[in-house]
Amino acid sequence: MTNNINTLPRSDDVVIVGGGLAGLFCALKLAPRPVILISAAPLGQGASSAWAQGGIAAAMAEGDTPEAHAADTVAVGGGIVDEAVALGIAREAAPRIHDLLAYGVPFDRDLEGRLAVGREAAHSARRIVHVRGDGAGAAIIAALSEAVRRTPSIRLIEGFVAEALLTEDGAVAGLRLREAGDAAAQPILLAARMVVLATGGIGHLYAVTTNPREASGSGLAIAARAGAVIADPEFVQFHPTAIMVGRDPAPLATEALRGEGATLINGRGERFMAARHPLAELAPRDIVARGVFAEISAGRGAFLDARQALGARFADRFPTVHASCIAAGIEPATQAIPIAPAAHYHMGGIAVDDRGRSSIDGLWAGGEVSSTGAHGANRLASNSLLEAVVYAARIADDIAGRTTPSPAR
Ligand code: SIN
């Protein structure tokens, strides 16, 4: 049900800020416990999760293991991945995928009815579960938004942003909210003892980004101003293959294209990644992004070439990327796609423990706004949606374990 914000009771409801994957999943996992879910944009819009094209990394195929997944996660993380955290999220992947299936997410299946798994850079196995090729994020957010709207215990407040986290004696006391996009609007104070921030990343602070406007770092900022410990804020991941057609945000050309054999070439038609890394186009994302940047800086330009690998199958296999190309006048079955690196994901964030608890009593953080230790300095592709659902479920469990509200503050 949707409420007018002025009618909200000051209660012990859990307040979740953010309508992306972590926020929606946590709200659903908390049901039937009352939850107030605040989203800056109408539900289903304005969340980076909805734009994710790859899918969710999950070691569910025969012969693959969570241990192999965790080892790949550690290998790309620049030496600072927390190995126990990486193994933890890899082990909880399968149950969370089953939760998403139960919420109605139509993951692609193979001819035998098993979940179909794709390959992405720096994964040693095919382990990315996906929807309609490159539509995982949109399909997941659509299914969960629908489930949230059907859940009576979730009060949905759309069109409001949290502009301050209020604390008293070092513990959460509430939020100051304001209507999104109206700096002159009267702020509204909402008393709350339990707040979950799931506000996404900071990508839109950058000139070239794959992130929506709402990814402005607001959740990180209000937590920092309230005194929460922030970890690794310097680690920002650039996606190597944003489509350069003058759009903001820059449309993404998913890494799964390279998993299916698409190559990277410069304006002279030369492949340039093989000389930079033994895995060539499937090298870790930071290395590929640097390779693309070097070609562009040298004036040679950079292109993603799927003509041989996919050709006429492109539209069918990657409909989202195909539509972005066609809108820009590029037919990727017969033309190489102009690309550049773009700010894509923030590995740093509000430092949280293995239950998603921040350093402030009563404040949890999940999804991109948090820093769990899973990604180190460089996130492995398709680990972000996984981390979001794993931690959202853990946060819900942790909150459910708090049978009585914290003592009066
Ligand atoms: C992609 O599909 O290339 C993006 C996936 C991700 O960022 O994890």
| Residues 108-123: tens digit of each pLDDT | 999 999 999 999 989 9
What spacing in Å lies between the alpha carbon of 268 and ligand 1's midpoint? Answer: 27
Query: Among the options 127, 258, 285, 357, which is catalytic?
Result: 285
Indicate where the chain has its CATH 3.50.50.60 domain(s): 5-235+347-399
Sign (positive/negative) of CA torsion 63, 65, 71, 73?
Answer: positive
- Residue 93 clears pLDDT 80, i.e. is over it: yes
- Residue 369 clears pLDDT 90, i.e. is over it: yes
Angstrom distance (rounded) from CA 273 to CA 265: 8
What spacing in Å lies between the alpha carbon of 379 and ligand 1's midpoint? Answer: 10
Cross-strand pairs, 22: none
What per-residue confidence (pLDDT) applies to 302?
98
Q: What angle do CA 329, 335, 338 make, to 5 degrees?
A: 70
- Residue 147 clears pLDDT 60, i.e. is over it: yes
Residues with C-beta less than 6 Å from any ligand 1 atom: 52-54, 254-256, 344-345, 381-382, 384
> Which H or E run contains 369?
none
Cross-strand pairs, 154: 35
What spacing in Å lies between the alpha carbon of 382 and ligand 1's midpoint? Answer: 5
Residue type, 86: A
How many angstroms separate the Cα of 75 from the Cα of each of 3, 259, 285, 400?
A: 47, 18, 12, 35
Pocket test for ligand 1, best of 48, 51, 53 (most atoms within 8 A of CB): 53
Say if domain 238-343 classifies as CATH 3.90.700.10.
yes
Side-chain half-sphere of 293: how many Cα atoms within 13 Å? Answer: 13
Number of residues written out for the chain = 409
- Residue 145 clears pLDDT 80, i.e. is over it: yes
pLDDT, one tens digit per residue, over 17-58 is: 999 999 999 999 999 999 999 999 999 888 888 888 889 999
Q: Which fold has domain 5-235+347-399?
A: FAD/NAD(P)-binding domain (3.50.50)
- Residue 128 clears pLDDT 60, i.e. is over it: yes
Nearest to 336 by CA among 278, 398, 253, 408: 253
CB 155 within 8 A of CB 109: no
What spacing in Å lies between the alpha carbon of 181 and ligand 1's midpoint? Answer: 29
The ligand 1 atom at the shortest distance from the C-alpha of residue 54 is 2
- Residue 407 clears pLDDT 90, i.e. is over it: no
The ligand 1 atom at the shortest distance from the C-alpha of residue 255 is 3
Mean pLDDT of 192-208: 96
What per-residue confidence (pLDDT) applies to 409?
39
Mean pLDDT of 238-250: 95
What per-residue confidence (pLDDT) applies to 182?
87
How many angstroms separate the Cα of 41 from the Cα of each of 34, 157, 395?
A: 21, 10, 23
Residue that the structure tokens 């798994």 belong to: 117
What spacing in Å lies between the alpha carbon of 254 and ligand 1's midpoint? Answer: 6
What per-residue confidence (pLDDT) applies to 275?
97
CB 59 within 8 A of CB 68: yes
The ligand 1 atom at the shortest distance from the C-alpha of residue 57 is 8
Ramachandran category for residue 190: left, alpha or beta (phi over 0 → left; psi -120 to 50 → alpha):
beta
9-23, 306-320, 323-337: lowest mean pLDDT where? 9-23
What per-residue confidence (pLDDT) applies to 12?
76
Nearest to 133 by CA among 106, 113, 101: 106
Mean pLDDT of 255-268: 96
The ligand 1 atom at the shortest distance from the C-alpha of residue 380 is 8
Q: What is the CA radius of gyration of the chain?
A: 21
| CB contact set of 353 (below 8 Å; sequence gap of 6+) | none
How many angstroms separate the Cα of 356 from the Cα of each of 10, 38, 226, 387, 392?
A: 24, 19, 17, 11, 8
> Which H or E run contains 160?
strand 160-168
In the annotation, is 96 catalytic?
A: no
Angstrom distance (rounded) from CA 291 to CA 265: 10
> Which H or E run contains 325?
helix 319-327
CB 197 within 8 A of CB 350: yes
- Residue 287 clears pLDDT 80, i.e. is over it: yes
Asked if residue 32 has a cis previous peptide bond (ω within 30° of 0), the answer is: yes
Indicate where the chain has its CATH 3.90.700.10 domain(s): 238-343
CB 369 within 8 A of CB 197: yes
Angstrom distance (rounded) from CA 390 to CA 97: 10
- Residue 131 clears pLDDT 70, i.e. is over it: yes
What per-residue confidence (pLDDT) applies to 44?
85
Pairing of strands 230-231, 349-351: antiparallel
What spacing in Å lies between the alpha carbon of 53 and ligand 1's midpoint? Answer: 6
Mean pLDDT of 159-178: 96
What spacing in Å lies between the alpha carbon of 75 and ligand 1's midpoint? Answer: 17
- Residue 9 clears pLDDT 60, i.e. is over it: no
Angstrom distance (rounded) from CA 137 to CA 320: 11
